[in-house]
Structures are given as structure tokens and as C-alpha cells.
Amino acid sequence: MRNTYSVAVVVLAIIFSQACKPAAKPAKTAFAVAEAPSLKVVEPEIGSTPDISNDAKKKLERRRALYARIDSMIGSYPDYETARQHLSERQIEIYENEEDYSKEDHLDVSIWGCSWYCGGGPDEITASSVLVPNKQLDYKAENAHDFSLRTAWVEGHSGNGIGQHITYRFLKQSPPVTAIEVYNGYMKSERVWRENARVKQLKMYVNDKPVALLNLKDITSKQIFKIDALQGKDKDLYLKFEIAGVYKGDKYDDAAISELEFSGTGVH
């Protein structure tokens, strides 16, 4: 038993001394096999859900008529404070949420009044591929940032779109980006949303370096991904979003994003 123990100690000592010897020449593959750091996975906060049903247009018309009636009532008082005393809570709620009640198109998601876009935002948007236009419809990259759910960027690669990407350029000194806001899929109607593929995961790159995985849900609500502030101080900032997973469409393989917008700081 003792002999066995002694042999084991000697063997271990030899192994240890060999292991501690400096390598005569570092292996060429030493750096190539180093594991890439794992990417941060970001889950979304869920925002409002736009009404994309078939009768949404009629609902919008009713809301606009209601808003116009309240607006006219308020006009008959000397000032808004006096008018408020004569309005119901519901009427005040409608009047003070003007953007929801007086927009032209129920698929419009543009932000009225003061927003980060008064001073921030990308100046160029490009995509790795775009689905070929069909009649009056096109699927260009800019459609993912036109504040309308009526339009979408649809990738044009054969297959399910994994690996396709869209890139936003922000000029240097553009206000910092702290959130990415996505309307997933082709949202111009419920039917079109179901027929086309939606994105399950986006791999986000900052200046071509992968930094995060954004996990998208298969829903029509706005999905908000909070990130650490990003800004190109001395050079332009490029944010690239690569499709890393999809939810299959009922009819088409093409993956669509109606809106991929931003929010941030440094404005106002």
C-alpha cells in the first residue's frame, strides 16, 4: 500500500513539474481556441398593443369624431381650466391623449410633441437583403423606421432569414441610445402578421462587434429592450441587428420587422 502511495506521489510530482515548465514555444492555436465571451441576453419590457384588427379603421374614425366633439366643447369656454370643470373624466382622458384620438391612420405610431427624436435618431439604414417589391408594395430597410405599422422591412434571402441583418448608422455625437423598441412582424393586419415570419431573436452588434442577444416575443405589442447608453463620440455609431431565430409564418418564410426604433437620453 505504502509503495503504491509513493509511486503515486512520484508520478504526480513528475506531472506537476512538467505542467509547471514554461512552454518552449506557445502553440499557435492557443488564442484561436479561446472561448468567446458569452453575450448578454436581454428580455423585453412589453409596451402598448396597437389595434391591427379589421375594424380598427372604423374604431379610429369613431374616436376622431369623439375627439373633435370634445375639442369643439372646450372651444366654447374661455380657457381649458374652466372647460375642465364641465368635462367628464373620460372626456379629459380623451382630450389629453390627443395623439391616440386624432391620428390619420390607425397604423401610425409616430410620436407627437417632445420626444427623443427631436434631437436623436439614425441618419442611414441599410439591410443585407430585401424582398423583391410586389406591385405597389416594397420591403426596404427604411420601412423599419418610418413610424408606420403599414410598412415593414422584409428580408429577401431564400430560407427563413436567419443571418440576415439590418444596420442603423448614427452620426458621431448623436444623442445616446438607451433603448431599442420593436414592433415584431408585418403588422399591417392580423392576417398579414400571421402569414409572415416574426423574429425570435436578434443578435445585436455595436460597430460590428456582437454585444447582446435580444429575445423577442411572438406578440403584436411594442417590445422595449433597455441597454447601456451607446454613443459614437469620435466616430459614427453603427448598430446592426442580425436575425438569429424566427417564429414561422403560416404562409411565407420571409421574416418581417414593422418597426425597430430607438429611445435615449441627451435631448431636452
Q: What is the nearest approach in angstroms of Ca ion to the Cβ of residue 258?
A: 5
**Judged by CB under 5 A, which of 60, 83, 101, 148 binds Ca ion?**
148
**How many angstroms separate the CA atoms of 155 and 133, rounded?**
11
Q: What is the nearest approach in angstroms of Ca ion to the Cβ of residue 260?
A: 9
Q: DSSP letter string over 17-33? A: HHHHSPPSS--TTTTTT
| Residue 14, C-alpha cell as written in the block | 513528475
Nearer to Ca ion by Cβ, of 84 and 140: the residue is 140
| Residue 205, C-alpha cell as written in the block | 452588434
Interface with Ca ion, residue 196, by CB under 5 A:
no
Residues 6 or more apart in contact with residue 163 via CB below 8 angstroms: 128, 157, 242, 243
Applying CB under 5 A, the site for Ca ion has a residue count of 6
Stretch that binds Ca ion, among 96-104, 144-152, 187-195, 208-216 (CB under 5 A): 144-152
Helices (H) then strands (E): counts for the chain: 6, 11
**Contact characters 245-264, Ca ion, x per CB under 5 A:** -------------xx-----
Q: Is the torsion defined by CA of 110, 111, 116, 119 positive or negative?
A: positive
Interface with Ca ion, residue 151, by CB under 5 A:
yes
Q: What is the nearest approach in angstroms of Ca ion to the Cβ of residue 142?
A: 8
Q: What is the nearest approach in angstroms of Ca ion to the Cβ of residue 44?
A: 18
Q: What is the nearest approach in angstroms of Ca ion to the Cβ of residue 257?
A: 8
Strand partners, 247: 198
Stretch that binds Ca ion, among 26-34, 135-143, 158-166, 171-179 (CB under 5 A): 135-143
Look up cell 420571409; give the residue: 254
Q: What is the nearest approach in angstroms of Ca ion to the Cβ of residue 108?
A: 10
**How many angstroms separate the CA atoms of 31 and 15, rounded?**
24
Interface with Ca ion, residue 129, by CB under 5 A:
no
Q: What is the nearest approach in angstroms of Ca ion to the Cβ of residue 139?
A: 10
**Judged by CB under 5 A, which of 116, 120, 141, 143 binds Ca ion?**
143
**Among the listed residues 255, 67, 24, the one whose alpha carbon sits nearest the alpha carbon of residue 154:** 255
Interface with Ca ion, residue 146, by CB under 5 A:
yes
Nearer to Ca ion by Cβ, of 129 and 148: the residue is 148
Q: Give the residue closest to Ca ion by C-beta.
A: 151
Q: Is the torsion defined by CA of 178, 199, 47, 64 positive or negative?
A: positive
**How many angstroms separate the CA atoms of 211 and 201, rounded?**
13
Interaction site with Ca ion (CB under 5 A): 143, 146, 148, 151, 258-259
